[in-house]
Chains A and B, each alone.
Chain A
Amino acid sequence: MVNPQAQPTNQGAEILRIVYPHDDSVLLHLSGNWRIGEEVPSSDDTIASLSGRPGLSHLAFDTAGLGNWDTTLLTFLVNLKDWCSANDVVYDTQGLPPGVRRLIDLASAVPERKGVRQEIQTESFFARVGGRGMNVVSSIGETLEFLGATFIAFLRFLSGKASFRRQDLWQFFLESGAQALPIVSLISVLVGLILAFVGAIQLQAFGAQLYVADLVGIAMVRVMGAIMTGIIMAGRTGAAYAAQLGTMQVNEEIDALNTLGVSPLEFLVLPRMVALTIMMPLLCIYADIMGVLGGFIVGVTMLDIGPIQYLIETKNALSLTNVWIGLFHGAVFGVVIALAGCLRGMQCGRSASAVGYATTSAVVTSIISIIVVTAVITVVCNILGI
């Protein structure tokens, strides 16, 4: 359709001339190049000037001077055609080049399917509020249903009846355990360093820099280790779970499991949950040690605390209760992150963008849940006095 030989551009030339041979008919003279990048008249302007002539019933073309053309010409002509059929004007294609005519016929061969194009409805304020409210209720319902079903799957796992693949479980242990160590080390050491620095400035004023060891030890072991690990794992593993399950949803893999009579909850969700819930407390212990190491580095190199002295002070500061509370945090975070990741993955729609959305919302859900859970545990500990 496009003639490859170079043609002069339209600069200054008259591209479109509108002639009215009779009162009720119009002839459009098209000339020059109608291509992407050229200056061509807009169909809106043309339609506007045609609309200014009442009683028009015939539209014809003269394309004797037409050079190269592409979609630019076609969209112009198709818009005119739509206008013609809306206004009962005969659209005479005789004067168009045969190629243009065929493509226009092709574009109008399949009529638009009714009811497919989504109407943009402006809803009233109350309808919108009501709709949001209903959505919240149904999403809470969905979440509870998922929790219930996962719990039943977990009971079946405990009684050894759940069907899943052992090698999958090992794979998830590896992914959510050993492979997370480098980043957990880095973040925890840095958090330990930061805590020690911030504390040291205050404590030095009283000559009490030794208590940096207490500060870092208690903060890391009781809550910071778990929270930092939780946030890392939410971004790393929770997001991965959501993306994996979402992709399986897109590929109809989950349908294939369902029709085989295999519960996706047992087969896909359970091993992920179990792996993360077991690995999280272990990662927490590791993060605690790394955090203390960070404090140790600051204490020994900058605050002139003796290495042995620092360690003894840390040991004295820490009670077993603190360790248990930290581990409890970790285990709960593990459950929460795995649940959020798997829930969002299972709820995923059937497109690539839905997978992206599922991943993002898995991370957001996990992080919010981590903070809320921490607040609840802290308050409860406070009430219990531990």
Chain B
Amino acid sequence: MNEGEPQIVVKGLDMGYGSFVLMRDLNFTVRKGDIFIIMGGSGCGKSTLMKVLIGLKEPSRGQVFYEGVSYWEAEAEEREAIMKRIGILYQSGALWSSMTLAENVAMPLQQYTTLNERQIKDAVSLKLRLVGLAGFEDFYPSDISGGMKKRAGLARAMALDPDILFFDEPSAGLDPVSARLLDDLILELRDSLGSTFIVVTHELASIFAIATNSIYLDVETRTMTASGDPKKLLHESSDPKVKSFLTRGEEGLQSATGGQREVTK
């Protein structure tokens, strides 16, 4: 397993909406250079966990440390400094609808760098090329497809070459080849820039191809029931739900999903 420095440390985290507790007692460490996968069934709170990690939603208890600084106790300037170092791809893409793709990608650069217009333009078209959207600079988000929005969101997340990238279901809505290219891109960025990735995904192929660490959030017990390299979890985990998730229900929870298997065959 990756032995880099701890970059994000989560301790005793509880989260929920109002009085509805979604997850409790989450503890994990994301190390520098990790490709950290958050797994779990639909609706278990993966996107919500991501919102807590990126400072959009306050946890009901517990802490998130970025290189030793507790985000939710930090001063506004410290928080801003942390935020500058992360890039985010939202589940819905979240492109700003009143701006063209180029303007969307350029926005973080204008906000945080002193590059001149020409340099920004070059950086933007490079990022769009990386996600296969060369030539779409002047399109508005409403004029492109769902998968293209995802990719444009990806380009925006990478605009500042951030240290830490959060991706919420990056390959949902992508064809298999683009999804594969995305995996390659993630590995490439990790190796060349040393970025850390926290990825919410259900794509088993990509989980096994790129993950260095992961956690599994369980809907019923409302906490994390497994953590570690998914490849090892597949063989070593004794938790039937984790096994079942990692094998698409082939192993693990035979009894509960027996009927379901028959239908899908």
Given the known A-B contacts A105-B259, A255-B90, A256-B88, are A262 and B111 also in contact in the complex, defined by CB atoms under 8 Å? Answer: yes
A383 within 8 A of partner (CB): no
* A 97-108 binary contact with B (CB < 8 Å = 1; else 0): 000011111101
> Which of A59-67, A226-234, A246-254 interfaces with chain B?
A246-254
A260 within 8 A of partner (CB): yes
Q: Report the minimum CB–CB distance from A4 to chain B (whole Å).
A: 21
* Contact partners of B92 in chain A: CB under 8 A: 251-252
Q: Does B86 contact A106, Cβ atoms closer than 8 Å?
A: no
Shortest Cβ distance from B21 into A: residue: A115
* Contact partners of B88 in chain A: CB under 8 A: 256, 259
> Which of B25-33, B94-102, B173-181, B205-213 interfaces with chain A?
B94-102
Q: Report the minimum CB–CB distance from A222 to chain B (whole Å).
A: 38
Give CA–CA (A168, B262) in the complex, Å. 56
* Contact partners of A108 in chain B: CB under 8 A: 259
In this complex, how many residues of chain B approach chain A with their Cβ under 8 Å: the count is 34
B80 within 8 A of partner (CB): yes
Which one of B20, B80, B84, B96 lies within 8 Å of A256 (CB-CB)?
A: B96
Q: Does B108 contact A260, Cβ atoms closer than 8 Å?
A: yes
B172 within 8 A of partner (CB): no
Q: Does A256 contact B259, Cβ atoms closer than 8 Å?
A: no
Q: Does B259 contact A109, Cβ atoms closer than 8 Å?
A: yes
Q: Does A259 contact B258, Cβ atoms closer than 8 Å?
A: no
* A 79-121 binary contact with B (CB < 8 Å = 1; else 0): 0000000000000000000000111111011000101000000
Give CA–CA (A247, B98) in the complex, Å. 12
Shortest Cβ distance from B79 into A: residue: A261
A258 within 8 A of partner (CB): yes
Interface of A is mostly: helix
Q: Does A105 contact B258, Cβ atoms closer than 8 Å?
A: yes
Given the known A-B contacts A106-B260, A113-B219, A251-B94, are A258 and B56 also in contact in the complex, defined by CB atoms under 8 Å? Answer: yes
Which one of A102, A171, A248, A262 lies within 8 Å of B97 (CB-CB)?
A: A248
Q: Does B94 contact A260, Cβ atoms closer than 8 Å?
A: no
* A 164-195 binary contact with B (CB < 8 Å = 1; else 0): 01001001000000000000000000000000
B107 within 8 A of partner (CB): yes
Which one of A109, A247, A257, A258 lies within 8 Å of B257 (CB-CB)?
A: A109
Near A by CB (< 8 A), chain B positions 93-123 give: 93-99, 107-108, 111-112
* Contact partners of A171 in chain B: CB under 8 A: 98
Near A by CB (< 8 A), chain B positions 210-241 give: 219-220
* Contact partners of B83 in chain A: CB under 8 A: 259-261
Shortest Cβ distance from A168 into B: residue: B98
In this complex, the member of A165, A171, A256, A262 whose beta carbon has the largest number of chain B beta carbons within 10 angstroms is: A256
Shortest Cβ distance from A109 into B: residue: B260
A163 within 8 A of partner (CB): yes
Q: Report the minimum CB–CB distance from A262 to chain B (whole Å).
A: 6
Give CA–CA (A252, B50) in the complex, Å. 13
Q: Does A260 contact B97, Cβ atoms closer than 8 Å?
A: no
Q: Does B56 contact A259, Cβ atoms closer than 8 Å?
A: yes
Which one of A106, A109, A257, A261 lies within 8 Å of B80 (CB-CB)?
A: A261
Q: Does B56 contact A255, Cβ atoms closer than 8 Å?
A: yes
Q: Does A102 contact B98, Cβ atoms closer than 8 Å?
A: no
* Contact partners of B220 in chain A: CB under 8 A: 113
Give CA–CA (A101, B111) in the complex, Å. 59
Q: Report the minimum CB–CB distance from A259 to chain B (whole Å).
A: 5
Shortest Cβ distance from B168 into A: residue: A252
B263 within 8 A of partner (CB): yes
Which one of A104, A168, A252 lies within 8 Å of B90 (CB-CB)?
A: A252
Shortest Cβ distance from A108 into B: residue: B259
Q: Report the minimum CB–CB distance from B50 to chain A (whole Å).
A: 10
Give CA–CA (A331, B111) in the complex, Å. 32
* Contact partners of B94 in chain A: CB under 8 A: 251-253, 255-256
Q: Does B107 contact A109, Cβ atoms closer than 8 Å?
A: no
Give CA–CA (A252, B95) in the complex, Å. 8
Give CA–CA (A377, B88) in the complex, Å. 48
* B 30-69 binary contact with A (CB < 8 Å = 1; else 0): 0000000000000000000001001110000000000000
* Contact partners of B54 in chain A: CB under 8 A: 259
Q: Does B97 contact A251, Cβ atoms closer than 8 Å?
A: yes
Q: Does A261 contact B111, Cβ atoms closer than 8 Å?
A: yes
B256 within 8 A of partner (CB): yes
Give CA–CA (A103, B55) in the complex, Å. 43
Near A by CB (< 8 A), chain B positions 242-265 give: 256-260, 262-263
Given the known A-B contacts A251-B92, A253-B96, A255-B90, are A260 and B111 also in contact in the complex, defined by CB atoms under 8 Å? Answer: yes
Q: Does B97 contact A253, Cβ atoms closer than 8 Å?
A: yes
Q: Does B263 contact A106, Cβ atoms closer than 8 Å?
A: yes
* Contact partners of A260 in chain B: CB under 8 A: 83, 107-108, 111
Give CA–CA (A106, B88) in the complex, Å. 37
Q: Does B56 contact A105, Cβ atoms closer than 8 Å?
A: no
Give CA–CA (A171, B99) in the complex, Å. 12
Give CA–CA (A215, B94) in the complex, Å. 54
* Contact partners of B55 in chain A: CB under 8 A: 259
* Contact partners of A259 in chain B: CB under 8 A: 54-56, 83, 86, 88
Shortest Cβ distance from B54 into A: residue: A259
Near B by CB (< 8 A), chain A positions 17-47 give: none
Q: A165-B99, A253-B96, A262-B107 are in contact. List 20 more A-B contacts (CB 8 A).
A: A103-B263, A105-B258, A105-B262, A106-B259, A106-B260, A113-B220, A115-B20, A251-B92, A251-B94, A251-B97, A252-B92, A253-B97, A255-B90, A256-B96, A258-B56, A259-B56, A259-B83, A259-B86, A261-B84, A262-B111
Q: List 11 A-B contacts (CB under 8 A).
A: A105-B260, A115-B20, A251-B94, A252-B90, A252-B92, A255-B56, A256-B95, A259-B83, A260-B83, A261-B80, A261-B112
